[in-house]
Amino acid sequence: MSTDFFERQATAHRHTGRLVWLFCLAVIGIVAASWLVAFLAVDYVEASNAAHGRPNPPGLAMVPLYVAIASALLILLGTLYKIVELRGGGSVVAEQVGGRLLHHNTSKAAERRLLNVVEEMALASGVPVPPVYLLESEESINAFAAGYSPSDAVIGVTRGTVEKLSREQLQGVIAHEFSHILNGDMRLNIKLIGVLNGILLLGLIGAILFRVAALSGSGSSRKNGGAGLVLLLVALAVFILGYLGTFMGSLIKAAVSRQREFLADSSAVQFTRNPAGLAGALKNIGAKLQGSLVKHPHAAEASHMFFAQGIQVGFTSLLATHPPLKQRILAIDPGWDGKFPTTASSQATATAPATATATPVAATAATAVPAAMGLVGQQQAAAPAQPVADVAGAPGQVGNPTPDHHLYAAQLIRSLPDQLTAAAHEAYGARAVIYSLLLDQDPKIRDRQLQTLDQHSTPDVVKLTRQLIPIVDALDMHTRLPLVDMTLPALRSMSTAQYRTFVSCFQELVAADEQLELFEWILHHILLRHLKPQFERVRPARVVYYGLQRLGEPCSVLFSSLAQVGHTDDQAAIAFAAAKGVLDDVPLQLLDSSDCDLPQLQSALDQLAQVAIKQKERLINAAAACIAADQEVSVREAELLRAISDTLDCHMPPLLPGESIAPVAAAGSAQPVKTS
Nearest to 162 by CA among 216, 107, 112, 228: 112
Please provide the size of the chain in residues.
676
- Comparison of 212 and 511: residue with beta carbon closer to other proteins: 212
Minimum distance, C-beta of residue 452 to other proteins, in the bound complex (Å)? 20
Query: Residue 628 carries which side chain, given as an amino acid letter?
Result: A
Answer whether 264's CB lies under 8 Å from 180's CB: yes
Q: Kind of pairing, strands 132-135 and 99-101?
A: antiparallel
What distance, in Å, lies between the first and last C-alpha atoms of the chain?
12
Which residues of this chain interact with other proteins, rule CB under 8 A?
57-60, 62-63, 66, 70, 74, 77, 81, 85, 88, 92, 95-96, 100-101, 103, 105-107, 201, 205, 208-209, 212, 224-225, 227, 231, 426-429, 460, 464, 493-498
- Residue 132 β-bridge partners: 155
- Comparison of 96 and 602: residue with beta carbon closer to other proteins: 96
- Comparison of 64 and 657: residue with beta carbon closer to other proteins: 64
Minimum distance, C-beta of residue 430 to other proteins, in the bound complex (Å)? 10
- Comparison of 206 and 654: residue with beta carbon closer to other proteins: 206
- Comparison of 165 and 209: residue with beta carbon closer to other proteins: 209
Where residue 590 falls (left for φ over 0; alpha for ψ -120 to 50; beta otherwise) is: beta
177: annotated active-site residue: yes
Minimum distance, C-beta of residue 496 to other proteins, in the bound complex (Å)? 7
Read out DSSP for 587-602?
Answer: ---PPPGGGS-HHHHH
Query: Residue 546 carries which side chain, given as an amino acid letter?
Result: Y
Answer whether 461's CB lies under 8 Å from 494's CB: no
Neighbours of 402 (CB within 10 A): 24
Minimum distance, C-beta of residue 428 to other proteins, in the bound complex (Å)? 4
Q: Taking CA 562 as the corner, what is the angle to CA 559 and CA 566, rounded to the nearest 5 degrees?
A: 150
Minimum distance, C-beta of residue 131 to other proteins, in the bound complex (Å)? 9
The CA R_g of the chain, rounded to the nearest whole Å, is 29
The DSSP secondary-structure symbol of 297 reads: G
Q: Kind of pairing, strands 632-633 and 386-387?
A: antiparallel
- Residue 144 β-bridge partners: 156, 306
Cα-to-chain-centroid distance, residue 4:
17
Minimum distance, C-beta of residue 459 to other proteins, in the bound complex (Å)? 9
Coarse DSSP helix, strand, coil percentages of the chain, rounded to the nearest 5 percent: 65, 5, 30
Minimum distance, C-beta of residue 199 to other proteins, in the bound complex (Å)? 15
Nearest to 167 by CA among 41, 278, 73: 278
Read out DSSP for 342-387?
Answer: SSTTGGGSS-S-TT--SSPPPTHHHHHHHHHHTTTT--GGG-PPEE
Residues 6+ apart with CB under 8 A from 68: 31, 32, 34, 35, 38
Minimum distance, C-beta of residue 555 to other proteins, in the bound complex (Å)? 41
Distances in whole angstroms, Cα of residue 399 to Cα of each of 6, 7, 118, 626, 632: 8, 11, 16, 21, 23
- Comparison of 55 and 360: residue with beta carbon closer to other proteins: 55
Where residue 494 falls (left for φ over 0; alpha for ψ -120 to 50; beta otherwise) is: beta
- Comparison of 423 and 486: residue with beta carbon closer to other proteins: 423
Among the listed residues 111, 138, 139, 177, the single catalytic one is 177
Answer whether 60's CB lies under 8 Å from 45's CB: yes
Minimum distance, C-beta of residue 96 to other proteins, in the bound complex (Å)? 7
Minimum distance, C-beta of residue 95 to other proteins, in the bound complex (Å)? 4
- Comparison of 57 and 587: residue with beta carbon closer to other proteins: 57
- Comparison of 442 and 454: residue with beta carbon closer to other proteins: 454
Residues 6+ apart with CB under 8 A from 356: 275, 276, 279, 332, 333, 334, 335, 336
Minimum distance, C-beta of residue 26 to other proteins, in the bound complex (Å)? 21
- Comparison of 96 and 116: residue with beta carbon closer to other proteins: 96
Answer whether 225's CB lies under 8 Å from 49's CB: yes
Measured CA to CA, the distance from residue 571 to residue 549 in angstroms comes to 26
Minimum distance, C-beta of residue 209 to other proteins, in the bound complex (Å)? 6
- Comparison of 231 and 555: residue with beta carbon closer to other proteins: 231
Answer whether 449's CB lies under 8 Å from 513's CB: yes
Query: Residue 219 carries which side chain, given as an amino acid letter?
Result: G
- Comparison of 502 and 519: residue with beta carbon closer to other proteins: 502
| Start-end of H helices in 347-495 | 364-373, 388-397, 403-415, 418-424, 427-438, 443-456, 459-473, 480-491
Q: Which residues are catalytic?
A: 177
